[in-house]
């Protein structure tokens, strides 16, 4: 009897574990070089961030196709030697890179910031000044930063040393916003309650993932002359990811609109574009194969555009593009029209 109860209790425990674990993934934390996850980079961005793009550099640079491509690019050796001067191994010691707009997309000049998660030596990243003396660093709330480009006494580009794993590069205003978030003085991106349910859809384990809060006024002005495209003005947010698995490239874009009817209207527009492109590309098998692979679906929350391409498909398209560009750039024989 006791054994039966023990078995039943054990099975119940396993069932509860299987039920709860999928929704209880690791919580985002400050990124530590070598152990950070993609989602951790978002803990360095303020809650009002309107756009970001995160790249898992370490995963990308160590993919076999990328390694092969790099071996063929002899001109990159110059840049590699420059990195060596910083005693930085770009294949082993750089983990994540990110680019973000920590404010309004309409005003990117002072709102753009780049983040790097890596293992580095601070002294090696500070360039020598006049007379081989290191330039003086400035500090903000105890964190040092280096003004790199100044215009009329104002720092336009700064490099901030957040800790031994993270750097921030951008305008002085943007870098200081990141420092405030890093020190917990202002909330980070995951604390934005308006986006909480949407952020769950982000595939933060992919090689790249991104987010954009669409500026309504900008889209409205661009599409107002074409009534057939007006449903696109209802798009509020866009997320994306790209990945590489089993020799296949995966690309996913999600559009979030005000309601499901808007999503269906947008799906009709995109499906129409796809059909038109299929008609125009019918004579090119490689292009037709790629267009056929595009999937357009809708849910209650978003519209998804998804495409997966095998390695050989991408190579065929790359070859086709090269051939087209070579033909267009080659001089035509005398006497032939260039119409």
Within this chain, do residues 49 and 183 fall inside the same structural domain, yes or no? yes
Within this chain, do residues 149 and 277 fall inside the same structural domain, yes or no? no
* Count of domains forming the chain: 2
Within this chain, do residues 202 and 287 fall inside the same structural domain, yes or no? no
Q: Residue 312 domain-assigned? A: yes
Task: Average the pLDDT over 250-264 and give the result.
Answer: 91
Within this chain, do residues 181 and 274 fall inside the same structural domain, yes or no? no
Q: Residue 70 domain-assigned? A: yes
Which residue among 184, 213, 242 closes a domain?
Answer: 213
How confident is the model over 233-254, as pLDDT tens digits?
Answer: 889 999 999 999 998 999 999 9
**pLDDT grade, residue 45 (50/70/90)?**
very high
How confident is the model over 285-301, as pLDDT tens digits?
Answer: 888 888 889 999 999 99
Within this chain, do residues 192 and 289 fall inside the same structural domain, yes or no? no
> Residue 73 is part of which domain span?
29-128+136-213
Within this chain, do residues 96 and 238 fall inside the same structural domain, yes or no? no
Within this chain, do residues 114 and 196 fall inside the same structural domain, yes or no? yes
Q: Residue 242 domain-assigned? A: yes
Within this chain, do residues 162 and 81 fall inside the same structural domain, yes or no? yes
Within this chain, do residues 190 and 113 fall inside the same structural domain, yes or no? yes
Q: What is the pLDDT of residue 73?
A: 81
Q: Which long-range contacts (CB under 8 A, 24 or more apart) does 246-249 make?
A: 247/310, 247/311, 248/308, 248/309, 248/310, 248/311, 249/308, 249/309, 249/310, 249/311, 249/314
Higher pLDDT, 212 or 79: 212
Within this chain, do residues 172 and 259 fall inside the same structural domain, yes or no? no
Mean pLDDT of the chain: 83
Q: What is the pLDDT of residue 141?
A: 95
Within this chain, do residues 182 and 59 fall inside the same structural domain, yes or no? yes
Q: What is the pLDDT of residue 142?
A: 95
Q: Residue 331 domain-assigned? A: no
Within this chain, do residues 200 and 275 fall inside the same structural domain, yes or no? no
Q: Residue 90 domain-assigned? A: yes
Which residue among 213, 240, 272 closes a domain?
Answer: 213
Higher pLDDT, 218 or 152: 218
Q: Residue 305 domain-assigned? A: yes
113, 168 Cβ separation under 8 angstroms? yes
Q: What is the pLDDT of residue 296?
A: 95
pTM for this structure? 0.83
How confident is the model over 94-133, as pLDDT tens digits?
Answer: 999 999 999 888 777 789 999 999 999 888 888 766 556 6
Which residue among 159, 191, 213 closes a domain?
Answer: 213
Q: Residue 44 domain-assigned? A: yes
How confident is the model over 144-190, as pLDDT tens digits?
Answer: 999 887 676 667 799 999 999 999 999 999 999 999 999 999 999 98
Q: Residue 5 domain-assigned? A: no
């Amino acid at each position: 009897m006791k054994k039966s109860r023990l078995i039943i209790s054990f099975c119940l425990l396993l069932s509860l574990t299987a039920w709860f674990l999928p929704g209880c993934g690791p919580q985002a934390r400050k990124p530590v070089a070598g152990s950070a996850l993609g989602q951790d980079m978002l803990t360095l961005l303020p809650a009002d961030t309107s756009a970001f793009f995160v790249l898992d550099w370490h995963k990308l640079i160590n993919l076999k196709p990328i390694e092969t491509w790099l071996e063929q690019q002899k001109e990159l050796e110059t840049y590699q030697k420059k990195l060596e001067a910083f005693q930085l191994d770009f294949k082993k010691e750089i983990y994540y890179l990110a680019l973000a707009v920590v404010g309004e997309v309409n005003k990117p000049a002072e709102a753009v910031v780049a983040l790097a998660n890596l293992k580095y030596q601070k002294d090696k990243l500070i360039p020598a000044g006049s007379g081989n003396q290191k330039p003086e660093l400035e500090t903000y709330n105890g964190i040092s930063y280096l003004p790199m480009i100044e215009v009329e006494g104002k720092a336009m580009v700064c490099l901030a040393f957040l800790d031994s794993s993270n750097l921030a590069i951008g305008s002085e205003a943007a870098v200081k916003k990141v420092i405030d978030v890093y020190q917990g003085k202002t909330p980070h991106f995951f604390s934005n309650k308006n986006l909480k349910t949407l952020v769950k859809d982000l595939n933060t384990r992919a090689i790249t993932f991104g987010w954009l809060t669409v500026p309504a006024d900008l889209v409205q002005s661009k599409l107002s002359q074409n009534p057939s495209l007006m449903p696109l003005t209802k798009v509020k947010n866009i997320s994306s990811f790209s990945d590489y698995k089993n020799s296949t490239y995966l690309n996913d874009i999600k559009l979030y609109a005000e309601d499901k009817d808007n999503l269906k209207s947008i799906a009709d527009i995109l499906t129409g574009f796809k059909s038109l492109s299929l008609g125009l590309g019918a004579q090119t098998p490689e292009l037709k194969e790629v267009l056929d692979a595009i999937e357009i679906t809708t849910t209650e929350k978003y519209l998804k555009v998804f495409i997966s391409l095998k390695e050989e498909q991408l190579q065929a398209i790359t070859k086709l593009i090269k051939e087209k560009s070579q033909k267009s750039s080659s001089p035509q024989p005398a006497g032939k029209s260039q119409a």
